[in-house]
Amino acid sequence: MIFPNVPQVKYEGPESRNPFAFKFYDPDKVISGKTMRAHLKFAMAWWHNLTAGGTDMFGRATIDKSFGGTTPMEIAKARADAGFEFMRKLGIDYFCFHDLDLIAEADTLEAQNRQLDEIAAYIKGKMDATGIKCLWGTTNLTNNPRFMNGAGSSNSADVFARAAANVKKTLDIMYLFTQGGENSYTGGFVFWGGREGYETLWNTDMALERDNVARLMHLAVDYARKIGFNGQFYIEPKPKEPMKHQYDYDAETAIGFLRKYGLDGDFKLNIEANHATLAGHTFRHELRVAADNNMLGSIDANTGDPHLGWDTDEFAYNVYDTTECMYEVLRAGGFGWGGLNFDAKNRRPSNTYEDMFHGFILSMDAFALGLINAVKIWDDGRVGVLSPEGHAERYGSWNSGIGLAIRSGKATLESLSDYALKQGEPQLPGSGRQEYIQNVINQVTFG
Ligand code: XLS
Ligand code: CA
Ligand code: CA
């Protein structure tokens, strides 16, 4: 046992003072037609939880995550042991990984592929024994110096080829993870374009680079379908960091890109809260843009810090944010193949194994509260805009008369001009009642 000090974490309710108990997340409780577990679909990010040691630009690790292993492969397996014990103790059903979270990077591609095969088989054994699934995998195309100018967007075709080889291997692993006879399921594959961008346009052929990023994505889809991996592909937008400008800037940009290159049938978006903040948007804005385009695939659930301008990947705790998130998820009809992946890491001084659990308990409870509140707000019915039909008071003018003529394409600029001449000055469009609405949210939440 790697975490002997942590018991099985169970729901004990809001009165509990047990640090290793959920106060709000009650996995089997049915709320709005589904269990909380099925609504929330929590996932553990292998990288932060099992490999990140609390390093920052100014300091080395504050916690040892080798979990008793000494050789690289022993450490890799010890991390898998730790991860499965961790997920089982919290009742987490999914995990996400990069290829290079699973093993230490090897000197040659052959050696790396061999080691990945060994660890993937080891992890698959644990998946089969526990029923824990992989939500999505991704390829680390940022760390190695060869990717300093990007992977799909590199100026070097040889580097592009190497990126393709690494993506192929991750897809092989994803395929293995999702196979299980009757228990086979549909996983996913994420492209996060960390270095797919530029530092200066003086040395950058942006058009070629973007075309090539799309080419790499097409090649990945073609290969996946060929080997029988029918999973969902995702782009994870992020505007900057590590590059000054990244091509998948935000949801709207990524959707435009997917449509331009004919990738929108195979891809949806993986929206990360902290990346929304970096793009100058709210988390909710990005979720809404994705959902309104039928592109809301999965979520990287974390938070940034308004006082820090970078990607801090903190555990989400702000219940207004989680409420807005879960409202958008409910509005979109829930997750399909995606879920809520905690792409979050403990703060550097939170350097014990127990802190790893506290981070997850914090965020699992925060999203459970968000779900409970979102359902209450939904059921209350006083706020929220679903469609013109669903919100007659504010958008009712679109359901008949001139509004319907516009929506059904019957109006022309001339007919609208005639209408405007006849009607005279239109009435003011009505108060947005924002302060009233915000108080209703508080009433429903805390009342
Ligand atoms: C980094 C990203 C990354 C992706 C997966 O900012 O969040 O961790 O989620 O490559
Ligand atoms: Ca992420
Ligand atoms: Ca992040």
Q: What average pLDDT does range 127-136 have in this prediction?
A: 98
Cα-only R_g, the chain: 24
Q: Identify the band that residue 386 occupies on the pLDDT scale cut at 50, 70 and 90.
A: low
Residue nearest to atom 5 of ligand 1 (CA): 192
Catalytic, 101? Answer yes
Q: Are residues 214 and 162 in the same domain?
A: yes
Q: What is the mean pLDDT of the chain?
A: 96
From 300, 310, 311, the mutation candidate for ligand 1 (largest count of ligand atoms within 8 A of CB) is 300
Residue nearest to atom 4 of ligand 1 (CA): 192
Token pair 């219940």 is found at 319
E strands, 222-379, are 232-235, 245-246, 267-272, 296-300, 340-342
Asked if residue 404 belongs to a domain, the reply is yes
Quote the domain boundaries for residue 118: 28-380
Asked if residue 105 belongs to a domain, the reply is yes
CATH of residue 134's domain is 3.20.20.150
pLDDT of residue 391: 72
Between strands 10-11 and 296-300, the pairing is unpaired
Of 345, 380, 415, which marks where a domain is finished?
A: 380
Query: In whole angstroms, what is the distance from residue 290 CA to residue 99 CA?
Result: 27
Q: Are residues 426 and 303 in the same domain?
A: no
Q: What average pLDDT does range 233-247 have in this prediction?
A: 98
Helix or strand (DSSP H, E) at 98: strand 94-98
Asked if residue 33 belongs to a domain, the reply is yes
Q: Are residues 71 and 131 in the same domain?
A: yes
Asked if residue 117 belongs to a domain, the reply is yes
Q: Which two tokens stand for residue 141?
A: 């195309």
Q: Are residues 416 and 332 in the same domain?
A: no
Find out whether the beta carbon of 190 lies less than 6 Å from any atom of ligand 1: yes
Of 380, 405, 436, which marks where a domain is finished?
A: 380
pLDDT of residue 383: 86
SS3 345: coil
Asked if residue 15 belongs to a domain, the reply is no
pLDDT at 388 over 90: no
Q: What average pLDDT does range 165-175 have in this prediction?
A: 98
List the catalytic residue out of 26, 93, 99, 101: 101
pLDDT at 348 over 70: yes
Catalytic, 81? Answer no
Q: How buried is 177 (Cβ within 10 angstroms: 0-12 exposed, 13-18 middle, 19+ buried)?
A: buried
Query: In whole angstroms, what is the distance from residue 147 CA to residue 282 CA?
Result: 30
Q: Are residues 274 and 408 in the same domain?
A: no
List the catalytic residue out of 39, 48, 98, 285: 98
Q: Are residues 221 and 118 in the same domain?
A: yes
Please name the residues in contact with 212: beta carbons below 8 A apart, sequence gap of 6 or more.
152, 153, 154, 160
pLDDT at 424 over 70: yes
Find out whether the beta carbon of 195 lies less than 6 Å from any atom of ligand 1: no
- Measured in degrees and rounded to the nearest 5, phi and psi for residue 191 equal -105, 110
pLDDT of residue 432: 87
Asked if residue 14 belongs to a domain, the reply is no
pLDDT at 61 over 70: yes
Contact by Cβ (8 Å): 159, 151: yes
pTM above 0.85, yes or no: yes
Q: What average pLDDT does range 106-122 have in this prediction?
A: 98
Q: How many domains does the chain have?
A: 2
Q: Are residues 401 and 254 in the same domain?
A: no
Query: In whole angstroms, what is the distance from residue 157 CA to residue 160 CA?
Result: 5
Of 358, 380, 402, which marks where a domain is finished?
A: 380
pLDDT at 387 over 80: no
Asked if residue 356 belongs to a domain, the reply is yes
pLDDT at 208 over 70: yes
Q: Are residues 424 and 298 in the same domain?
A: no
Q: Are residues 69 and 154 in the same domain?
A: yes
Q: Are residues 311 and 406 in the same domain?
A: no
Query: In whole angstroms, what is the distance from residue 140 CA to residue 117 CA?
Result: 16
Find out whether the beta carbon of 99 lies less than 6 Å from any atom of ligand 1: no
From 170, 234, 238, the mutation candidate for ligand 1 (largest count of ligand atoms within 8 A of CB) is 238
Q: Identify the band that residue 62 occupies on the pLDDT scale cut at 50, 70 and 90.
A: very high
Asked if residue 313 belongs to a domain, the reply is yes
Per-residue pLDDT tens digits for 262-280: 999 999 999 999 999 999 9
Q: Are residues 353 and 311 in the same domain?
A: yes
- Residue 314 is classified by DSSP as B
Find out whether the beta carbon of 281 lies less than 6 Å from any atom of ligand 1: no
Query: In whole angstroms, what is the distance from residue 63 CA to residue 143 CA?
Result: 21
pLDDT of residue 394: 86
Q: What average pLDDT does range 412-437 have in this prediction?
A: 94
Q: Identify the band that residue 381 occupies on the pLDDT scale cut at 50, 70 and 90.
A: confident
| CA–CA distances in Å: residue 330 to residues 335, 380, 434 | 9, 14, 22
Q: Are residues 402 and 373 in the same domain?
A: no
